[in-house]
Amino acid sequence: MLFQLSEQIVNGLVTGSVYAIVAVGMTMIFGVLRAINFAHGEYYMLGTFGAWVAIEYFDLPYPLSVAIGVIATALIAMVVGQLVMRRMVGMPAEAGVLATLGLALILQNTVILVFGGGYKFFNGGYIEPVTVFGISLAEQRLLIIVICALVFVGLELMVTHSRIGKAMRAVSQNIECCAVVGIEVRKVVVATFVLGAALAALSGVLTAPVNVSVYGGMGELITFKTLPIIIMGGLGNVRGTFFAAMILGIAESLVATYVGLQFRDTVGFATLMLVLMWRPHGLFSAQARY
């Protein structure tokens, strides 16, 4: 009983790590743009496809395919950032919603057009099971947890110590003041956007070996799972996102075990409704930031 519970918590931590890496990018983009990026899951999908192409067409080893998936997505995000996202600064919320939803459709359907709508088989990664404290899980899942921890430590250091990180925080606090003191707001916005998209891609590439299937529509579910997390964590709040992702991951895992697998997806959406009703500014902050 206790063993089962701890096994499910570990499962939840793995799921939570995947969510956390995707969601942190989305929450940072919200921070600088004040717009929810509805195309965020598509970058997760693009990263996975990039790695899949590298493995399937060029026979490259998995670690290299991870780099290719992330870099390819970052390049696409750079183009999108220059053409679309930088124009969103100071625009009303509607513009951001329409632009990102439109982007989601374009990215998704381009991939379906090029590679077909069927599921592809992702052949890579470290799927051999290992046993840790009696719990058997694929090596890849341990890798996901480790990389998630590294990503968050890295982000924390970046936003507190590096120049661009400080600029990101500044822009997320007050765009006008940033412009006044000479911070190039649009550049910061594009940089944040590319970073967020690359993180989503990283999450996709890391999960692909254990999720096996790769297909054009795979990002949609991720976008909608990420929404409750960033709202629970407090929009723009990096640390809050981490804990919110872990909470959702563990809650989903417990519901799947003790209530039934068919109720798993309801956890996120139910949480979203409750949080919007009672704590629209998130679980971890007493007041709204924006």
Partner 1 sequence: MANSLRRQFVLALAAATPFMAGFGSTGPVLAQDGAIRLGIVAPMSGPNARYGAFSLRGAQLAAKEINDAGGIDGRKIQVFSADSQGTPVEGVSATRRLISQDKVDFLIGDVSSSVTLAMQPVVEDAGILLINAASSNPKITYAAGVGGFKWSFRNYPTDENRALVVAQYAAEKRGFTKFAVLSVDSDYGRSAIEFTKKYLPRFKGQILTEDYYKEGEVDFRSVLAKIRDSGAQAIIMYGLADTTPIVARQMIEVGLAGKIPLIGNGEFNTEKTIKSAPKAMEGAVEAAAWLPAYDSDKSKAFVAKFTTEYREAPNNHAYVHWETVRLLGKAVEAAKSIDRAKVRDALKSIKYDSAVGEVTFDDHNQAKLPMILLQIEDGKPAIKGAFYADIDYPR
CB 194 → partner 1: shortest distance, Å? 22
CA–CA separation, 248 vs 237, rounded Å? 16
Residue 142, exposed/middle/buried by CB under 10 A (0-12, 13-18, 19+)? middle
Q: Which of residues 84, 257, 270, 285 is near partner 1 by CB under 8 A?
A: 257
Q: Which of residues 79, 83, 93, 157 is near partner 1 by CB under 8 A?
A: 93
CA–CA separation, 163 vs 109, rounded Å? 37
CA–CA separation, 207 vs 246, rounded Å? 16
Residue 1: strand, helix, or coil? coil
CB 72 → partner 1: shortest distance, Å? 22
Q: Which of residues 15, 48, 203, 226 is near partner 1 by CB under 8 A?
A: 15
CB 221 → partner 1: shortest distance, Å? 6
Q: Is 57 in the site for partner 1 (CB under 8 A)?
A: no
CA–CA separation, 285 vs 73, rounded Å? 32
Binders of partner 1 among residues 139 to 168 (CB under 8 A) are none
CA–CA separation, 46 vs 253, rounded Å? 26
CA–CA separation, 197 vs 70, rounded Å? 9
Residue closer to partner 1 by CB (options 76, 120) is 120
CB 279 → partner 1: shortest distance, Å? 10
Q: Is 253 in the site for partner 1 (CB under 8 A)?
A: yes
Binders of partner 1 among residues 185 to 224 (CB under 8 A) are 207, 210-213, 215-218, 221
Q: Is 173 in the site for partner 1 (CB under 8 A)?
A: no
CB 153 → partner 1: shortest distance, Å? 26
Q: Buried b / exposed e across 77-100, counting CB within 10 Å, b at 16+?
A: bbebbeebbbebbeeeeeebeebb
Q: Is 35 in the site for partner 1 (CB under 8 A)?
A: yes
Residue closer to partner 1 by CB (options 67, 143) is 143
Residue 213 backbone dihedrals phi, psi, to 5 degrees? -95, 140
Residue ranges of alpha helices (H) inside the chain are 2-33, 40-58, 62-83, 93-115, 139-161, 163-173, 175-180, 185-211, 218-233, 238-258, 264-278
Q: Residue 49 in contact with residue 289, Cβ under 8 Å?
A: no
Residue closer to partner 1 by CB (options 46, 208) is 208
Q: Is 281 in the site for partner 1 (CB under 8 A)?
A: yes
Q: Which of residues 55, 72, 185, 256 is near partner 1 by CB under 8 A?
A: 256
What Cα–Cα distance (Å) separates residue 22 from each residue in 55, 86, 245, 286? Answer: 23, 21, 10, 25
CB 107 → partner 1: shortest distance, Å? 13
Q: Which of residues 2, 59, 260, 286 is near partner 1 by CB under 8 A?
A: 260
Q: Residue 268 in contact with residue 54, Cβ under 8 Å?
A: no
* Residue ranges binding partner 1 (CB under 8 A): 4, 7-8, 11, 14-15, 34-36, 38, 93-94, 96-98, 101, 105, 109, 112, 116-119, 121, 127, 129, 136-138, 207, 210-213, 215-218, 221, 231, 235, 253-254, 256-257, 260-262, 264-265, 276, 280-281, 288-290
